[in-house]
Structure 1
């Protein structure tokens, strides 16, 4: 089976050579890490995070060496979308037991605490870029997680199994084909 880094590369392409984390350490606090060689809860700064960045960067765990936010992979996202600049952390999410087919593998856009990305339009710019793919896109503001892509009409048809009207047939069929494997087993 492919590891997550390979799947992310297949979905979005390789890490862009001209994009680096720089001073951004959002993932070191926001994300939950549960790997064989390292674990930390979501929303808690990594124990190795210092004012100067990762205190063990040269020997950091494999998960930290192989994970990259979507901003590092998607050239159409503006430079200003880097998490520490935009207040948005964009990641590929893998849910082993999804509640619906749109949760198995998806893009998750998280609004970071104190972010003004909604008010200044950055969230809309990021979502416009990400919603061009045949990949479910979720947006989380810390309180609520909302499916942004596919559209509600398409999502409802995909989830219900109801035949799609002619205008939506091809789009619904594409989502069902791509993500039907993630439908919960009954």
Structure 2
């Protein structure tokens, strides 16, 4: 876990001092937790989540002490993007057996059930703020998971290994270099 925390800071920056969870407990319900100290299935409220938040906050497991959503780290996301305000939970995901190089380490944009973030434009605002770096961004509406960044043309070339046209050559090379460790072996 310590390595993942360091990678989060490297990719996204430190936790912003002016951003706090407040009353938000989206991560306590939406996320899967599978650590030696604590397990929780996705979409199920944590057994310690009560009406006033975490009932064991002072003694919570290490994962709960060290994990922070992407909103807490990325200043260009608006205050309205906090999960309990936006209906979207943003996390840096680590997939130990990725299906492709874009799943190993990526930002996951998860719509919460009943969220109106697509209709009110918040999903687009969040995606615009996140899709400008060499970090894959996935979007899930609960029924499917879609790669939003890099775009389809770049992703196809990275995955296929085919030569990129001149206008995409540098971008494709940068993605291939950064994510080659996650390339699937044929």
Same fold at TM > 0.5: yes
Query: How far off its partner does 1:2 sit?
Result: 5.2
Matches within 5 A, 1:138-177: 138-177=138-177
Which residue of the partner structure matches residue 95 of structure 1? Answer: 95
Which residue of the partner structure matches residue 127 of structure 2? Answer: 127
**What secondary structure, in the 3-state scheme, does the structure 1 residue paired with 2:39 have?**
strand
Which residue of the partner structure matches residue 183 of structure 1? Answer: 183
Q: Deviations over 1:41-64 (max 9, x none)?
A: 000000000000000000000000
Asked if 1:29 corresponds to 2:29, the answer is yes
The 2-side partners of 1:10 and 1:143 are apart by 31
Asked if 1:80 corresponds to 2:77, the answer is no
Query: How far off its partner does 1:184 sit?
Result: 1.3
Which residue of the partner structure matches residue 57 of structure 2? Answer: 57
The 2-side partners of 1:2 and 1:33 are apart by 15
Which residue of the partner structure matches residue 48 of structure 2? Answer: 48
**What secondary structure, in the 3-state scheme, does the structure 1 residue paired with 2:34 have?**
strand
> How many matched pairs?
186
TM-score (norm 1): 0.99
Q: Is the 8 A contact 1:97 1:184 kept in 2?
A: no
Q: Which runs of 5+ in 1 are unaligned?
A: none
Provide the aligned C-alpha RMSD in A.
0.9
The 1-side partners of 2:185 and 2:31 are apart by 28
Asked if 1:67 corresponds to 2:56, the answer is no
The 2-side partners of 1:129 and 1:153 are apart by 20
The 1-side partners of 2:54 and 2:133 are apart by 33
Q: Is the 8 A contact 1:95 1:105 kept in 2?
A: yes
TM-score (norm 2): 0.99
Q: Which runs of 5+ in 2 are unaligned?
A: none
Q: Is the 8 A contact 1:139 1:146 kept in 2?
A: yes
The 1-side partners of 2:158 and 2:119 are apart by 32
